[in-house]
Amino acid sequence: MSRTPEIDVGDYVREIPGQQFLVRTEAYTDEDVFELEMKRIFERTWIYVGHESEFASAGSFKTAYAGRQPIVVIRDKEGKIGAFFNRCMHRGATLLREPQGVVQEMRCPYHGWIFDLAGRTRLVSERGDPGGYGANFLEPQGLLRVPRMESYRGLLFVSLDAGIEPLASYLGELKAVIDAKLDLSPVGRIAIASKPYVCRYKGNWKLQTENIVDAYHFMHTHGAFVKLQAKYGDSTGDFGVHKGRSSREMREQRFRGETWSCRQGHGFARVPAADPGYLLDGEFGRMYRELLDRHGEAAFAGITAKATSTVFPSMGMIHQQIRVWRPISVDETEVLIYPYEIEGAPDAFNAGMLRSQERFYGPSGFGMADDTEIFARVTQGLRASSVEWLVFDRGMDSDERTESGDYRGLPSSEAPQRALWRAWENMMRQASKHA
Amino acid sequence: MLQDITQFIYREARLLDDRRLDDWLSLFDDDGLYIVPLVDEALPGRQAAIVNDDRMAREERVYHLVNHWFPAQQPPSRTLHFVSNVVADERDGLWSVSSSQLIHETRGGDWTQVGLGEKNAIVARVDYLLRRGDKGFRIHEKRVHLLDRAGWQGNLAFIY
């Protein structure tokens, strides 16, 4: 177990309602803060570990992490998906080390102990041999199960906190974003068929949490892409995502819609479709018209909106992808980007969306590499610790408090970033069972 | 013929290293493909690729690199390709060529900055399908199998 740092997190976030919102530099750079986050945040939030479609058959597994704790998620012979800590109960070696795969059982390579797909101990090797285990040996019954696992519409989350609120309530307002994204499917389901892009960057995990819902940066960090889009439009695979408009129109489009700061720490930005007529009369008009008939005009506007969202602390949905990030150290983070398919949509639709993601995301895409480069620059800049604070004031005076306790802001408000920091401060102040 | 083929691949590598990217574009067939897959299957299908560029996408990528300022290439990457282990087979006028490539990449400027001044190595098996026409060889397909394609990548916002 790592050391328990003694730090006062009481003065890391300063909020004067409606006026000022500051975050202390050390919240991104201090190793003690990072150690505390692993316990106080990653061990008591809901952590995304995969989608049901990734577990096709008995023995289908995926490895994941809650903070830095290794987890394996696996489907058993009865069809149930379980989550266990990925370590042998004997001397601790990880049982499975491929990111994904199919196994008959979980066999430890160190001394040959075997656990079945439901995590039960199947075999303690050489048990009765000379020097083996005696009659009083307390055999571990099986792998340690992660205390909680729940699914929301096929999205699987685990929590190390047995007492955490149910997933559906934890997701709060963000459920509407997930629902809208999944309701683009005529059958209400998505599927993950592609392997993910895996990118690492030199920077704190919270930079990704902030950035995936940052409508403000797009015209600046990705300004060159905006010019590229104005020149090439849909001809190179944008697939209508940015609608091939002029830089000015793309800028105006970004100042429509809304941002949200959810009380659980989630944030999202939602921009209505630039031109719903383009969808209804376009190549996939039939699919869209059926959606309009089934869901009605208001819900259809939500389904066709561009929404980018983060589930606190480490999962996000943007474009047609699920993104999950893994803190490695205070200044290193790994990001996995899983493009997903809309079940029941025409093959050409899913193929087109995949091409549009190749264009912008991944290590050679026109967007992702710029974001990770900026994260490295932030990491470098924050070494100027003589500057005490980062500024998150944008849009504060126009954010409105909702009945649910969330805030709704104007389109490029930093409301979604404030969501992260409000939840962060709240959780970091509360001592957990372990720290 | 093998010598012609290796000379062609060396020249392609030199164009990339010298950032003569418009000349690099002209090495491809109109229906040519520049692809960096994440998996080993021949066609990406339902699988995302790191790069999956047809002619328009190659032009766009080059236009972006040559004309735009953007963070991932400020300063721009400098590369040096080492090409070896070239094996070539011909079938129906299409040459199937396999090579091993070691591509050193660095971005200079202020090497004290995070991410700059690093000496990165990209190791890949690079397979080509080449067509021989009146003006010599043309690339019908360039497929870069990164040795570490299943693992994490850093900044690959240049052509390699």
- Token pair listed for A48: 């995304």
CB contact B115 to A (< 8 Å): yes
In sequence order, the 6+-apart residues with CB closer than 8 A to the CB of A186 are A287, A290, A291, A343, A344, A345
Q: How does residue A233 score in pLDDT terms, banded at 50, 70 and 90?
A: confident
Global ipTM: 0.94
Q: Sign of torsion, CA B104 B35 A199 A49?
A: negative
- Count of alpha carbons within 13 angstroms of residue B150, beta-carbon side: 5
The answer to whether B86 contacts chain A (CB < 8 Å) is no
**Hey, are the CB atoms on B71 and A221 less than 8 Å from each other?**
yes
- Cβ of B70 and A194 within 8 Å? no
Q: Is B117 on the interface with A (CB under 8 A)?
A: no
Rounded Cα distance, A311 and A318, in Å: 11
End-to-end CA distance of chain A: 11
Q: Is the peptide bond before B71 cis (omega within 30 degrees of 0)?
A: no
pLDDT digits (tens, 9 = 90+) for A102-152: 999 999 999 999 999 999 999 999 999 999 999 999 999 999 999 999 999
Of residues A195, A354, A370, nearest to B70 (C-beta): A370
Dist. CA A406–CA A419, nearest whole Å = 9
Closest partner CB to A198 (pick from B36, B68, B152): B152
CA A312 to CA A425: how far, in whole Å? 13
Task: Provide CB contacts within 8 A for B131, sequence distance 6+.
Answer: B29, B93, B94, B95, B137, B138, B140
Q: Which residue of B has its CA nearest to A374?
A: B71
Instruction: Tell if the CB–CB gap between B71 and A228 is shorter than 8 Å.
Output: no
Q: Torsions phi, psi of A324, nearest 5? A: -135, 140
At B44, is the pLDDT very low, low, confident or very high (cuts 50, 70, 90)?
A: low
Tens digit of each residue's pLDDT (9 = 90 or more) over A260-304: 999 999 999 999 988 888 899 999 999 999 999 999 999 999 999
Strand, coil or helix: A420: helix
Question: Of A362-371, A398-407, B18-27, B34-43, which range is least confident?
Answer: B34-43
The torsion region of residue A233 among left (phi > 0), alpha (psi -120 to 50) and beta comes to left
Q: What is the pTM of this model?
A: 0.95
Contact B35, B142 (CB under 8 A): yes
Q: Is B48 on the interface with A (CB under 8 A)?
A: yes
Long-range contacts of B132-137 (CB under 8 A, 24+ apart): B132/B93, B132/B95, B136/B4, B136/B8, B137/B4, B137/B5, B137/B8, B137/B27, B137/B95
Nearest CB neighbour to A376, from listed B57, B115, B150? B115
**B52, A228: Cβ pair inside 8 Å?**
no
CA distance readout (Å), A232 to A194, A235, A252, A349, B34: 26, 6, 19, 20, 18
Share of chain A above pLDDT 90, in %: 87
In this prediction, residues A356-381 reach a mean pLDDT of 95
Mutation test of the interface with chain A: which of B25, B152, B159, B160, choosing the one with the most A Cβ atoms within 10 A?
A: B152
Mean pLDDT for chain A?
A: 94
pLDDT at A51: 98
Q: CA–CA separation, B143 vs B42, rounded Å?
A: 10
Q: Which residue of A has its CA nearest to B39?
A: A195
Sheet harboring A114-115: ordered strands across?
A106-107, A114-115, A121-123
Report pLDDT digits (tens) over B107-157.
987 888 888 889 999 999 999 999 998 889 999 999 999 999 989 999 999
Buried b (16+ CB within 10 A) or exposed e, A135-173: eeeeeeebbeebebbeebbbbbbbbbeeebeebeebbbb
Query: What pLDDT is recorded for position A415?
Result: 97
Lowest mean pLDDT among A58-72, A129-143, A238-252: A238-252
pLDDT in tens, A311-337: 999 999 999 999 999 999 999 999 999
